[in-house]
Amino acid sequence: MATESPRESTAWMLALDDRLRAAVGERELIHLIEAPTLLEVPLSPYYCRQAILWNNLLLPAMDLAAWLHKQPKANNNWKLAGIVAYQPAPNVALGYGALLLAAIPKRTQVTDTLACSLPECPNGWRELAISCFRQAEEAIPILDLPHLFTGGLLTR
pLDDT tens digits along 124-134 = 999 999 999 99
Give CA–CA dist 147/60, Å, rounded. Answer: 13
Least confident window among 7-16, 70-79, 108-117, 139-148: 70-79
Give domain status of residue 118, yes or no. Answer: yes
Instruction: Note the pLDDT of residue 87.
Output: 94
Residue percentage of the chain with pLDDT more than 70: 93
Counting the structural domains of the chain, the total is 1
Alpha helices in the chain (DSSP H): 64-69, 125-128, 145-149
- CATH code at position 74: 2.40.50.180
1 located within any domain: no
Q: Determine the structural domain holding residue 37 and report its residue range.
A: 10-149
